[in-house]
Amino acid sequence: MSSPPLSLFLVRHGQTEWSLSGRHTGSTDIPLTNDGEDEARALQPYLARIHFDYVFTSPMQRAKQTCALAGLGNHAETEPDLSEWDYGDYEGRTSAEIYKTRPGWLVFADGCPGGELPAQVQTRTDRLLTRLAAMRGNVALFSHGQISLVMAALWIGLPVLAGQHFLLGTASLNILSVNPAHPNIRVVSLWNATPTFLAGRS
């Protein structure tokens, strides 16, 4: 029997102090808040129903914590390309603070001084998606906000800039897959399903 087609279960990490305050968090390795831990645990009943052929997590502890509390930590491999956008000089700053010196700044268009440019983020995300596309079955990916938006955009053939049109809550579950009737067409099967939303479907 052949393996099922590829489905990417993309999970943003739970709440941190910086995600709560809107501070851009790339390389700063901060933990989940207590509420963030609760969010991650709330994913476990839903994810427990699914057989995952692969589990990958960003190297950052907030992603690894979310993976473990969601019940998949024992099966996870660290994947550096799931790391968040490198914010460089904008690390730890809010968008409102950045606008004071750079009005109209948008990470998907402008990138970050001292950090990653959109083209660099696209290169590593394309590299990751190419590897994932060679797999079959269900793949869990524990990652971050902006890089997940880029991944979704590129998955369906849109540019990095299109990431601005997606919203992504903490500890949200998202599924990138293919159209069953047209396996060559990539789709977004589920988006921004928070633990509260998932609990209502159980």
CA distance 21 to 93: 10
Locus of tokens 């609990």: 199
Provide the 8-state DSSP code for 195. H
Assign residue 31 a region (left: φ > 0; alpha: ψ between -120 and 50; beta: otherwise).
beta
Catalytic residue among 37, 39, 79, 84: 84
Asked if 41 and 68 touch (Cβ cutoff 8 Å), the reply is: no
Q: Is 75 a catalytic residue?
A: no
Residue 21 has a CB neighbour count (10 Å cut-off) of: 10
Q: Is 165 a catalytic residue?
A: no
Catalytic residue among 13, 24, 37, 79: 13
Residues taking part in catalysis? 13, 84
